[in-house]
Amino acid sequence: MRVLHVMPYIPYPVSGAPVRDYNIIKNLSEKKIDSHMVCNYSVDNKLENSTYNLNQLEKELNAKIYTREVPDLSILKKTKAVFLNSMYPPIYRYNSPANIRSIESVLKKSQFDIIHAQHTIEAAPVVQAASNSHFKGCKVITLHNVDHLNFIRQINHQKSSWVRFAHKRVVKGFKDHELKIIDQFDHIFVVSETDKEIYVSCRIPEDKIDVIPNGVDCNFYNTEEFATSVQLSHPNILFMGSLSYKPNDFGIKNYLENVHPAIKKKFPNIKFYIIGKSCPAWLNEYSKTDNTVEIIGFVEDVRPYIFNADVCIAPLTSGSGTRLKILEYMAMSKPVVSTTIGAEGLEISNNKNILIADQWDTFADLIVSLLEDKEFSERIGINGRILVEDRYDWKKLVEKQVKVYKKLTTCNS
């Protein structure tokens, strides 16, 4: 079976959605699925300073990669998209004639059984390219978030009235586009039962949707086999995630304003470590005035830092989908404190394999309880590891995706 994956980035296994695609394609290859990729990357997600290169990535994934840089839209075009067309600008950025032609050219090079789009922004160009090239196979899409819900949840976090207005303008147009375009695919993958329920409530047929959760490589994130030279101060708290992703930005702000002061009172020598690229200016300035906050920035390998963490957090109050970083924390047997939204979509058990709080004073109390009680902390961490081994190992998750692929191609033959 041959599959053409189309995605808005190069799937370097560093953070976020590219980690998912890297692991899925790698495991598909082990299942004898022949994968090719069209990677429409932008300058801001090319991953500067990475030790990876395309030749190395192709060897690791046993897949052919075609890349194309997608130029950004002008300010005028972005403004027109939002205020005149009520549309999320990247929809126009990726749905360009050049992008469509690049997908078509690969479709014409060899016979594919499935074309598989990643994210809503790649949906329209995939549909158009398939139509233009008279593609006879199946069209599949993975929705990593419920994108229109993501916008709704971010509205009230925006301080600028203009930005709030822009988000409100985008929501309806983007939702209509999202539901209309994904309905043109033969099958849909989502990352959680929660996301599936939302799309079913929007009248997407239930039998057209399968849940393939985000996962983790349990062999890679294995504390028994992992040694590190990285040293962090103790006690400490760790946050990981792309800092250009607004829900992460909001989450850190909320933590610093509402939680961290209480932690500092209890543990004056606490360290809050932040790992992630694209650190915003406000956070850089904040760290200069508070010596308990340290921005590590982008790192090639997060394992040494998770290994040395005492408590890992996901203080998100917006966003959608599921958090890969929580699974990575758990895989290394680290206790996690999260909000309900932060842990949304994961089949977790509060007070067993994770601690959940939506009130900031409770969030602080849970962190303190983990820092004070080593036995309790270790129990939560070990239970988290058991959970990911049982339900979220990539090898098990990809088996389901292969079964769906085979079912679709059988029905299409």
Task: For residue 393, give the DSSP letter.
Answer: B
Would you call 293 helix, strand, or coil by DSSP? strand
Task: Name the least confident of 163-167, 211-215, 270-274.
Answer: 163-167
Half-sphere exposure of 212 (CA within 13 A, CB side): 26
191 pLDDT higher than 50: yes
Which CATH number belongs to the domain containing residue 300 in this structure? 3.40.50.2000
Q: Do 134 and 47 share a domain, yes or no? A: yes
- pLDDT, residue 49, reads 43
Q: Do 32 and 99 share a domain, yes or no? A: yes
Q: Do 209 and 297 share a domain, yes or no? A: no
Burial of 311 (0-12, 13-18, 19+ CB in 10 A): buried
Q: Assign residue 293 a region: left if phi > 0, alpha if psi is -120 to 50, beta otherwise?
A: beta
- pLDDT, residue 281, reads 92
Q: Do 160 and 256 share a domain, yes or no? A: no
How far apart are the C-alpha atoms of 47 and 11, rounded to whole Å? 10
Q: 4-34, pLDDT tens digit by residue?
A: 999 999 998 877 788 899 999 999 999 999 9
- pLDDT, residue 143, reads 94
Residue 273 included in any domain: yes
To the nearest whole number, what is the mean pLDDT of the chain? Answer: 90
- pLDDT, residue 173, reads 85
Domain with 269, as residue range(s), is 236-391
Residue 230 included in any domain: no
Decide: 276 and 242 in contact? Cβ < 8 Å.
yes
**Mean local confidence (pLDDT), 231-239:** 95
Q: Do 32 and 146 share a domain, yes or no? A: yes
Query: Which residues are CB-contacts of 150 (< 8 A; sequence separation ≥ 6)?
Result: 247, 318, 319, 320, 321
- pLDDT, residue 158, reads 67
Decide: 327 and 15 in contact? Cβ < 8 Å.
no
Decide: 189 and 210 in contact? Cβ < 8 Å.
yes
Q: 131-154, pLDDT tens digit by residue?
A: 999 999 999 999 998 877 767 776
- Residue predicted with more confidence, 263 or 345: 263
Q: Do 36 and 168 share a domain, yes or no? A: yes
Residue 221 included in any domain: no
Q: Per the structure, how many domains does the chain have?
A: 2
Residue 190 included in any domain: yes
- Residue predicted with more confidence, 122 or 192: 122
How far apart are the C-alpha atoms of 297 and 293, rounded to whole Å? 12
Q: Do 129 and 82 share a domain, yes or no? A: yes
Q: 45-60, pLDDT tens digit by residue?
A: 555 445 568 889 999 9
Residue 227 included in any domain: no
- pLDDT, residue 320, reads 52
Q: Do 187 and 261 share a domain, yes or no? A: no
Residue 314 included in any domain: yes
How far apart are the C-alpha atoms of 19 and 39, rounded to whole Å? 14
Q: Do 83 and 168 share a domain, yes or no? A: yes
- pLDDT, residue 257, reads 96
**Mean local confidence (pLDDT), 228-244:** 89
Out of 45-54, 94-103, 155-164, the most confident range is: 94-103
Residue 228 included in any domain: no
Q: Do 36 and 50 share a domain, yes or no? A: yes
- Residue predicted with more confidence, 86 or 101: 101
How far apart are the C-alpha atoms of 364 and 178, rounded to whole Å? 38
Q: Do 77 and 118 share a domain, yes or no? A: yes
Q: Assign residue 119 a region: left if phi > 0, alpha if psi is -120 to 50, beta otherwise?
A: left
Percent of residues, the chain, with pLDDT higher than 70: 93
Task: Name the least confident of 159-173, 184-198, 199-213.
Answer: 159-173
Q: Do 36 and 119 share a domain, yes or no? A: yes
Would you call 106 helix, strand, or coil by DSSP? helix
Residue 290 included in any domain: yes
